[in-house]
Amino acid sequence: MTRICIVGTGHVGLVYAVAFTLQGHTVVGTDVDAAAIASLRKGKPTFYEPGLSAALAKARRTKRLSFSTEIAAEASAAEVVFLAVGTPSREDGSIDTSYVESAARTVGEGMRAAKGYPVVAVKSTVIPGTTETVVRPALEAASGKAAGEGFGLCMNPEFLREGSAVEDALHPDRVVIGCLDKRSGDALARVYAKLRAKKLRTDLRTAEMVKYATNAFLATKVSFANELADLCDAFGGLDVDRVVEGMGLDARINPRFLKAGLGFGGSCFPKDVRALLAAGRASGYESALLRATLDVNDVQPRRAVALAEAAAGDLRGRRVAILGLSFKGGSDDIRESRAILLARALLEKGAVVVGYDPEASSAFHAVVPDVEIAPDAASALAQADVCIVHNDWPAWRRLKAKDFAGMRRKVVIDGRRILDRKAMQGVELRVLGG
Ligand code: UGA
């Protein structure tokens, strides 16, 4: 059992606070956001994530999970401190490491009085070299101790997907432990000792790069599938899912992350690919492949608009309903959602746009206020000329032709290849990717 302090109670920090508690450790989740801590103390997560409320309740019942705004004090009593704060994008795509740096300073202050060999592990996604050149000096200056002598240092990337984050934290495929020295790596390995997952030990920079390489590869896989879908449409008579099924049977490829759609969104793929591109550029390397991955991604929402125009003609004055506003089903997160680009492209065409999402409607409205928000799918579809399905909420899979009966003209664009085609008799259905 390890005494753990986590700095940052966002999507990553909170999920790990809960998972580590359920794995037998004693955990304190800390944050500068007093309102978030107050809510967590009452057992209320500050964002929607399937299964998180129940897992948080279960973790709290163990009495080994607490929450606090006293970051330095809590860090001073911990054996392992995880930094799980955000690394937002700057204008040029590079990451802003100021939150990581200031969290490291606060933790360092707490470690002044700490005994033994506390280990600080960076979970935030950071460009190779950041743990060594930003986190380490901040910790050393604030604590008055040297890394490798007075405290240990690790980089331990996370691979949690929104929508299945709790499961991913409890049952990961692998754990990557980048460490400054063996002693630091051993402390982190003890945290994950109960997991069956493969564990890989690396140096700090390699662990940082593994995270970017993983997200960049998966994002490229998605863009590849989207390009295949566009090619299938150009050739005609092809169904991209069948093509991918055939490809995916090759064990070297596998079918995961090859589902074509309107592009990847969320807080990670777009930001991480941009950051890797920017960091490469800063080091004198221009990545053509990463550039293309982003370019394909930006084109996809326009493909849905083109399909709508091909089926319904000029969209000026037409009512277009978007089903699904979050970046993917199972999440209320609209960060980098392709529905934002889609809605803006439709508005530019002069369409009247109405949107519905089971969880993300109000957040979406705040970002694109010109989109009307409907309270449910039926109201969104009422009197619409065109419907575009954007994300993959399971509810869309159950839609039938009668659910579209209220539309003025029943042109439906399936941008996520999720609708049950057999149930769509009487609907003018166009599916991206054939
Ligand atoms: C992603 C990674 O999958 C996680 O491993 C990683 O920890 C996380 O980023 C992060 O860096 O924190 P997430 O953004 O939550 O997780 O969601 P994904 O399931 O990866 O989906 C990303 C986007 O790609 C979504 O818009 C999704 O709809 C899209 N996608 C995914 C497709 O269009 N097709 C696919 O086959 C898979």
Q: Is residue 385 part of a domain?
A: yes
Ligand 1 center to 98 CA (angstroms)? 25
Ligand 1 center to 372 CA (angstroms)? 27
Q: Is residue 231 part of a domain?
A: yes
The residue whose C-alpha atom lies closest to atom 31 belonging to ligand 1 is 257
Of the residues 167, 202, 237, the one at which a domain ends: 202
Ligand 1 center to 269 CA (angstroms)? 7
The residue whose C-alpha atom lies closest to atom 2 belonging to ligand 1 is 161
264 lines ligand 1 (CB under 6 A): yes
Give the strands of the sheet with 65-68, arranged side by side: 65-68, 26-30, 3-7, 80-83, 119-122, 152-155, 174-179, 198-202
Ligand 1 center to 219 CA (angstroms)? 8
Q: What is the b/e burial string over 113-152, where b = at least 16 CB atoms within 10 angstroms of the residue's CB?
A: ebeebbbbbbbbbbbbebbbebbbebbbebbebebeebbb
* Residues 170, 46 share a domain: yes
| pTM value surpassing 0.85 | yes
* Residues 416, 271 share a domain: yes
DSSP letter for 88, please. P
pLDDT at 319 (0 to 100): 98
E strands in 214-282: none
* Residues 260, 145 share a domain: no
Cβ pair 272, 210 in contact under 8 A: no
Q: Is residue 352 part of a domain?
A: yes
Of the residues 202, 231, 253, the one at which a domain ends: 202
Cβ pair 391, 419 in contact under 8 A: no
* Residues 248, 278 share a domain: yes
* Residues 185, 263 share a domain: no
The residue whose C-alpha atom lies closest to atom 19 belonging to ligand 1 is 161
* Residues 155, 18 share a domain: yes
The residue whose C-alpha atom lies closest to atom 21 belonging to ligand 1 is 264
* Residues 250, 174 share a domain: no
Q: Is residue 213 part of a domain?
A: no
Ligand 1 center to 354 CA (angstroms)? 26
> Which range of residues forms the domain containing residue 90?
3-202
Give the strands of the sheet with 428-431, arranged side by side: 372-373, 352-356, 319-323, 386-389, 411-414, 428-431
Q: Is residue 67 part of a domain?
A: yes
* Residues 223, 162 share a domain: no
Q: How many structural domains comprise the chain?
A: 2
Q: Is residue 101 part of a domain?
A: yes
Q: Is residue 142 part of a domain?
A: yes
Of the residues 146, 168, 202, the one at which a domain ends: 202
* Ligand 1 atom nearest 338 alpha carbon: 26
Ligand 1 center to 161 CA (angstroms)? 6
**Active site members:** 268
Mutation to probe ligand 1, out of 269, 396, 416 (largest number of atoms < 8 A from CB): 269
Rounded distance between C-alpha atoms, residue 241 and residue 343, angstroms: 26
* Residues 78, 135 share a domain: yes
151 lines ligand 1 (CB under 6 A): no
Q: For residue 410, give the CATH number of its domain.
A: 3.40.50.720
* Residues 144, 93 share a domain: yes
Tens digits of pLDDT across the chain (434 residues): 999 999 999 999 999 999 999 999 999 999 999 999 999 999 999 998 999 999 999 999 999 999 999 999 999 999 999 999 999 999 999 999 999 999 999 999 999 988 899 999 999 999 999 999 999 999 999 999 999 999 999 999 999 999 999 999 999 999 999 999 999 999 999 999 999 999 999 999 999 999 999 999 999 999 999 999 999 999 999 999 999 999 999 999 999 999 999 999 999 999 999 999 999 999 999 999 999 999 999 999 999 999 999 999 999 999 999 999 999 998 999 999 999 999 999 999 999 999 999 999 999 999 999 999 999 999 999 999 999 999 999 999 999 999 999 999 999 999 999 999 999 999 999 999 99
399 lines ligand 1 (CB under 6 A): no
* Residues 362, 222 share a domain: yes
Q: Is residue 321 part of a domain?
A: yes
* Ligand 1 atom nearest 267 alpha carbon: 14
* Residues 174, 242 share a domain: no
The residue whose C-alpha atom lies closest to atom 17 belonging to ligand 1 is 161
